[in-house]
Amino acid sequence: MIGGRPWKRSPVRGVTAVAAVGLLLAACSSGGSPGKAQPLKTLTIGSSNVFPPTLDPTANASQAIDEVIDYNVLQHLVQLAPNGTIVPILASSWKVSSNNQVFTFTIRKRVRFSNGDILTPADVVFSLRRVFAPSSTYPYAKVFDVASVATVATDQVQVTLASPSWEWLYDLAAYSNGVILDPRTISSMATDPVGTGPFKVAGEVTNYSVSLTRNGRYWGYLPQVAGVTFRYFTNPNDLNAALQSGQVQMIDNLSTPQDLGLFKSNSAYRVTAGLTNGKVQLTLNNAYGPLQNKVVRQAIAYATDKAAIIKAASGGYGIPAGSDTVPADPYYLNLSGTYPYDVAKAKALMRQAGYGSGFPLALTLPPYFYAQLAAPLIVSELGAIGIRVTVSTIDFPLWISQVFEGGAFQATIIDHAEGRDIGNYGTPGYYWHYAQTAQVAAELRAANAAPTEAGWIAGYRQVLRQITADAVNDWLYIIPNLTVARKDVVGLPSTAYTESLDLAYVGLGGSIPAAARSLGFSS
């Protein structure tokens, strides 16, 4: 929900890799398609996400917005392919200075927005400056860290960072900060964001659906569907029934993994358990009374049975998490054994901290199934060490404003779905109120200034060890992305490394280009 670098970079920073991927995209850039189905049909996707509170990803952190709009309608200079590589999109190539501080992008020619406006370097400068403008509403503006953006040639834009970073190019690719906008359409972003992507917004029905139609002006490969409709379901049984009856052709992420048995043995469907960046955690407000004490937070970590929570909330498909990192991260450390399930140890720590009789704790949940499924176990497990948990569920817009933006909570369960978001622990005012934020920020800056990738990784791993030792949050498990689709749905991303459901190559029947398959789209 809320809120890097996939290849090892030499001093010339991946020029060969960029050129190679550029050739792949060129091979995919015609409107034709092998196995093209006639006539084109609309793909209907059943989603268990909450209905998007707006269609503007620059104004709200909801994953539901990015799933529909990011990559599909609005594009970035560079984006993250399903196989984990950074690929050129609106930038045809780029160069990085030897100190990881100056990025020069060559802007792709002959690209139009869906309304017919031509993409220019000035649009790129406007879009990137808008992220860090004083009036910015971007949810991740604090991690952008850009000093200046300017055109440096008729087809080039140069970005100078405030400080060196091994992270920034990945952040530009994976976060909605990177979207390139048409300055003339800003006023309509909430209901009709205009972009350069393979789709454009056709309309929405509040709390029911968002519809996209194929963008006939798209500069790249045209998806082999007439459009895509996202249908929203609050009841998992209704969602399953909709797929079985043909009302929808796929479920974007099965919210109740226990229901996989309905589809796994049926040859009409394809089930994919994709890797994700999602860290489901019991988020702890480190500024709340007893939770200010690190020993209490450690007791909570020992008291929670991760294996039982994974079985209940993820059907056994998740893997234990031990800190703010997943196996896709270059700096990944498996710290899941730091706090093994040990009720006796947890009780001893509670006594050591002066809370042998326990204390009350309010658990405020968003309306997500994984949170609802994990909560009863959390209540029972913390109750065993004297923590008396009361549970409430609030609408997601209120969760965003009250918990995420306001920091007014004691504990919550949430999936932090952004990739490589360790920077949150060095972000002042971030919603869990970690006392060592300034120290972590300094350590991250030092790591990013390292002259080698190995030095950067070592610095980040030290931060992981620190936040784990401090038990800032109770990391529960790394969430899988469980997609169930009809067998004839092709071109879906094989992983969920971004919050977007990248539908650039989707089709109903037929096949996709070999170059798209090499990027990690399914055939």
Reported CATH class of domain 279-478: alpha beta
153 CB-contact burial (10 Å; exposed 0-12 / middle 13-18 / buried 19+):
exposed
State how far the Cα of 271 lies from the Cα of 217, in Å rounded to an integer.
33
Nearest partner of 62 among 159, 205, 176, judged by Cα: 176
State how far the Cα of 159 lies from the Cα of 140, in Å rounded to an integer.
17
Domain map (residue ranges) of the chain: 279-478
- Spans in the chain with pLDDT lower than 50: 1-24, 26-37
Confidence at residue 255, expressed as pLDDT on a 0 to 100 scale: 79
How wide is the angle at C-alpha 202 spanned by C-alphas 27 and 485, nearest 5°? 60
Residue 500: C-alpha distances to residues 72, 402, 418 (Å)? 8, 25, 10
CA atoms within 13 A on the CB side of 198: 24
In the numeric block, which tokens belong to residue 65? 């917005």
State how far the Cα of 248 lies from the Cα of 239, in Å rounded to an integer.
8
DSSP assignment of 110-127 equals S-B-TTSPBP-HHHHHHH
Q: Which helix (H) or strand (E) holds 314?
A: helix 306-314
Residues 6+ apart with CB under 8 A from 10: none
Cis peptide before 376 (omega within 30 of 0): no
Please list, residue by residue across 83-102, b when 16 or more beta carbons sit within 10 angstroms of its beta carbon and e when fewer do. Answer: bbbbbbbbbbbbbbeeebbb
Find the largest Cα–Cα distance for the chain: 71
Name the one residue in this structure whose structure tokens are 């950074």. Answer: 86
Instruction: Judge whether 269 and 263 are in contact, CB under 8 Å.
Output: yes
Please list, residue by residue across 197-236, b when 16 or more beta carbons sit within 10 angstroms of its beta carbon and e when fewer do. Answer: bbbbbeebeeeebbbbbbbeebbbbbbbbebbbbbbbeeb
Name the one residue in this structure whose structure tokens are 């968003």. Answer: 366
Q: What is the pLDDT of residues 298-322, one digit of tens each?
A: 999 999 999 999 999 988 889 999 9
SS3 assignment, position 267: coil
In the numeric block, which tokens belong to residue 489? 């749905």
Confidence at residue 38, expressed as pLDDT on a 0 to 100 scale: 60
State how far the Cα of 160 lies from the Cα of 181, in Å rounded to an integer.
20
In the numeric block, which tokens belong to residue 324? 């703010």
Confidence at residue 199, expressed as pLDDT on a 0 to 100 scale: 98
Task: Give the strand pairing for 209-214 and 227-232.
Answer: antiparallel
**CA 275 remoteness from chain centre:** 12
Q: What is the layout of strands, in order, in the sheet containing 209-214?
A: 199-205, 209-214, 227-232, 42-47, 250-251, 481-486, 269-274
Q: What is the pLDDT of residues 408-424, one digit of tens each?
A: 999 999 999 888 999 99
SS3 content of the chain, % helix, strand, coil (to 5): 30, 20, 45
Confidence at residue 143, expressed as pLDDT on a 0 to 100 scale: 77
